[in-house]
Amino acid sequence: MTDTDASATDATAASSAAASSADASAGAFEQRYEISSDPSRLDPARIHHWLSTDAYWALGRSREQQDRAIAGSLNFGAYDVTSGEQAAFARVVTDHASFAWICDVYVDRAARGHGIGTRLVTEIRDRLAPTGVRRFLLATDDAHGVYAKVGFTPLEAPGKWMCLQVG
């Protein structure tokens, strides 16, 4: 087993333990919100508004670019069970075999504080882990605590990772 495999195994164990504590609040969440990956339920105009006007990483993103991002990704929404209104969004870029990048996680300001972000990312992890995905990555400036509840930790060796920024 390589160091990378051991890290992935440790991360999976940590995320499973975190999921157990998250399950304790699942009942209250499920009475108010439901999570779905059904593309027909997404509200692309609402998603674009959220991200392009209130998400530091996507400010000014065009609607056309956002629609292409949605079309090329596995998308999840959290919906109010009474009104059906979309309350949160996350998209995943994945090969459905070994890797997933979770991005554009956004919870409507009026719906924050109900554990939606944590439940959304937990659902993504739980949906993809059985397909063989063992490495989930994301980046955040301000929500480390939300993702830590699901088992995310800082990169052990950030110097091994590289990024190419174009434009």
**Predicted confidence (pLDDT) per residue in 69-92, tens digit:** 999 999 999 999 999 999 999 999
Structure confidence by residue, pLDDT tens digits, 24-42: 555 666 689 999 999 999 9
- Which SS3 state, helix, strand or coil, does residue 65 take? helix
* pLDDT for the residue 27: 61
How far is residue 23 from each of residues 20, 34, 57, 90, 114, measured CA to CA in Å? Answer: 5, 14, 30, 20, 13
Q: Please give the share of the chain, as a percent, with pLDDT higher than 90.
A: 80
Structure confidence by residue, pLDDT tens digits, 55-65: 999 999 999 99
Q: Name which of 68, 61, 66, 70 is nearest 91 in CA terms.
A: 70
Helix (H) or strand (E) holding 12: helix 3-23
| Most confident among 1-5, 6-10, 152-156 (mean pLDDT) | 152-156
Contacts of 111 (CB under 8 A, 6+ apart): 33, 78, 80, 87, 88
